[in-house]
A and B are shown apart, each in its own frame.
Chain A
Amino acid sequence: MSKIACFVEKYNFSDPREEDALQNFKLAAEKQGREFHFLFREDISDVAKYDAVFIRATTDPLNTAYVVSKTAWELGLKVIDDPESITICGNKIHQYALFEKYNVPYIPTMFLNKDELHHKKISDTFDALGKPVVIKAPYTSFSRYVEKAACETSFRDVAKRFFKKSDVLAIQKFTPTAFDWRVGVLNNDVLYVCKYMIPKGKWKHGAKLRGKPTVIWGRTVSIKRQEIPVRLREVALKACSVVGKGLYGVDIKEVDGNYVVVEVNDNPSIYAGYEDSMDHDIYQRIITYLSE
């Protein structure tokens, strides 16, 4: 009987909706006759005892999750998220450079190197992208490390902070929309489709209230995967094809009838009653993929 390890950290159980989703994965696996065990940080060295690894802890090439992923990969196990997907999705600079190379329609983006933070470059950037611009650190996730700047002073302020960890940043055209499409993709096929609504008066899905540390999230409205607009499907699959064949959540904006990719995320959130609310079989599909 094949054994699946689900690598999680304690925080994966702090939200009951995510905890329910994790239990749904376990149930789906057991229904298919697989063993499904949660693997925590202290037992990482046990990876070799399994046949497949499903990572739900936050991924980044510098995180423990990468060590788990690459170890599994080296041992020949099936793994979501695979190390290459983590590398490309964990660094948005890498990802946008691939979008550019393979003609994926994506949000207008310029790269800024650490030694280019001077008046001329900043005003050229504003000229090219308009005001405000969005400054994005390559390791962004959950709407963090993405900030707006409308003048040189705030541009420098944000850029300096983000340059502490990365020598290159992405600067993007500010494109406000009422929602972002979130298309879940597994192995080159659409898994689920949602609209991540932007909270009122805000510009990203997870936004902070003024002066408060808590993050508020927009609603998630899901639609049946068969009902995805044809062009949206094409763009989502094209974007994933330059990353890999695993499990992704693609963020796409609809601007004047065109679809432009904001980013492809590995390790996409799956919360019970949200991403799965129209297509209940997403758990089985992921387990089946891991067992193939």
Chain B
Amino acid sequence: MTVLVVSNIDLTTNLQIMKPATFLDSTIKEATLNINNEYRYLKTGYYVSMHAEILGNRVIPSCENIIDSSRTPILLLRAAKAGVPTLPFLVTDSVKKITNELGFPVILFAVNPFIYDGYKVAHNKSALYRAVKSLGMNYKFAVCAQPLKGELFAVKSFFGKTTNSDPQLQKIAEKVYKTFKIPLCKLHIQKTVDKAYLCGLQPVNREELSEQDLLIISKEVSLISEQGEAFGV
């Protein structure tokens, strides 16, 4: 099987790489591997997958997974179903509800069309009010709240692989990739003394990609285009 690689990132591989704009103007019917540092809805990374789907191509990632993985409540719901450890969350715009049901500290992700990066942590009621107000764009949108029980950190995940040596984190990255097939992303994870939980998924900025990262990505891309099995799922 031949795999068409569409990428907005310069990869260090011998494979033919097509630019997103060229692909969008084409009608190439081949399994499509869409590599982009961000798969935001309505941005080029999204349209590449959409175009591939309309052409009837198998594509990684799918539009559905792009949308779902960027909506924190859906990410957590589907990840939990797939066996990824997550904490109970609330989708609401009510500070009272968050305080009563989750307590402090809490971590909040936005659920609105304008904020796609970042989160806020609140340790007390006034910080919570401020966070709900700013992430909800002045109470126009809901937020997704989760209890914060441990240390919070972000890891880059490339095809479900992470350079972090913690086996729990590796397992989370692997399962999240198996569920959503987002080739490049950043995972927000919190870790208590003995357990790690998935909190969120966000795009990787281009500046965050090191030479080492590009090598890993290139290697994975070569593997997938040789083997092609990843499309079978």
Contact = CB atoms under 8 A, between A and B. Distances in A.
Contacts of A60: 113
Contacts of A87: 63-64, 67
Given A167-B43, A168-B24, A41 B93 contact: yes
B97 interface: yes
A292 interface: no
B74 interface: yes
Given A42-B93, A62-B113, A168 B74 contact: no
A66 B67 contact: yes
A67 B89 CA distance: 13
28 contacts: A42-B94, A42-B97, A44-B92, A45-B89, A45-B90, A62-B112, A62-B113, A63-B112, A63-B141, A64-B91, A64-B111, A66-B67, A66-B71, A66-B74, A67-B71, A67-B74, A67-B91, A70-B77, A71-B73, A71-B74, A74-B78, A74-B81, A94-B50, A94-B63, A101-B54, A139-B42, A167-B43, A168-B42
Contacts of B89: 45
A70 B51 contact: no
A97 B51 contact: yes
A138 B21 contact: no
A91 interface: yes
**What range describes how many residues of A lie at the interface?**
20 to 34
A148 interface: no
Q: Which 8 A-B pairs have the closest CB atoms?
A: A62-B113, A42-B94, A166-B42, A44-B91, A97-B54, A42-B92, A167-B44, A61-B67
A24 B195 CA distance: 50
A60 B64 CA distance: 13
A140 to B, nearest CB: 12
B47 interface: yes
A114 interface: yes
Contacts of B44: 114, 167
A124 to B, nearest CB: 13
Interface in A53-104: 60-64, 66-67, 70-71, 74, 83-84, 87, 91, 93-94, 97-98, 101
Contacts of A91: 42, 50
Interface of B: 21, 24-25, 41-44, 47, 50-51, 54, 63-64, 67-68, 71, 73-74, 77-78, 81, 89-94, 97, 111-113, 141-142
Grouping DSSP codes into helix (H, G, I), strand (E, B) and loop, the A interface class, with mixed when no group exceeds half, is helix
Nearest to A97: B54
A43 interface: yes
Interface of A: 41-45, 60-64, 66-67, 70-71, 74, 83-84, 87, 91, 93-94, 97-98, 101, 113-115, 138-139, 165-168
Contacts of B93: 41-42
Contacts of A67: 71, 73-74, 91, 111, 142
Contacts of B25: 113
Nearest to B46: A167
Nearest to B51: A97
A91 B78 CA distance: 23
Given A62-B41, A70-B74, A138-B42, 19 more contacts: A41-B92, A41-B141, A44-B91, A45-B91, A62-B113, A63-B112, A64-B141, A64-B142, A67-B71, A71-B74, A94-B50, A97-B54, A113-B21, A113-B25, A139-B42, A166-B43, A167-B42, A168-B42, A168-B47
B50 A44 contact: no
A71 B77 contact: yes
Contacts of A83: 64
Contacts of A168: 24, 42, 47
A97 B52 CA distance: 11
Nearest to A111: B24
